[in-house]
Amino acid sequence: MPYNDFCALTPEEFSHIYKAYSEERTAQYQDSWERMRMLAAITIQPYAKKGLTPHGLLPFPWEKKKPEHTKAAPAVSKEDALKRLEEVLGKVGNG
């Protein structure tokens, strides 16, 4: 990107451009690893006793399923928050 174009961008525009660039680089990186995994699986397949899948041979971190729902933190009452604040301030003051 030319310097003048960079200077003309707003922070939001730059953020979108950077996000698209980052996603493209990540996709290229993952694609190269997936091609290498496929090549390794094809190379090893004749010597494997059981059926071998590329995913079974080398699972990648980005292929792990993320939990769909996360447990929400319990709501803290105002009184509990003030009590906790006083405890922390007491420890800091005596520290």
Range of the structural domain that residue 88 is part of: 3-94
Q: Is the pTM of this model over 0.85?
A: no
Q: Terminus-to-terminus CA distance in the chain, angstroms?
A: 52
Band (91; pLDDT cuts 50, 70, 90): confident
Greater confidence, 95 or 57? 57
Domain total in the chain: 1
Residue 57 has pLDDT above 70, yes or no: yes
Per-residue confidence (pLDDT) for residue 43, from 0 to 100: 93
Q: How many CA atoms lie within 13 A of 95 on its CB side?
A: 7
Q: Are 37 and 52 in contact (CB under 8 A)?
A: no
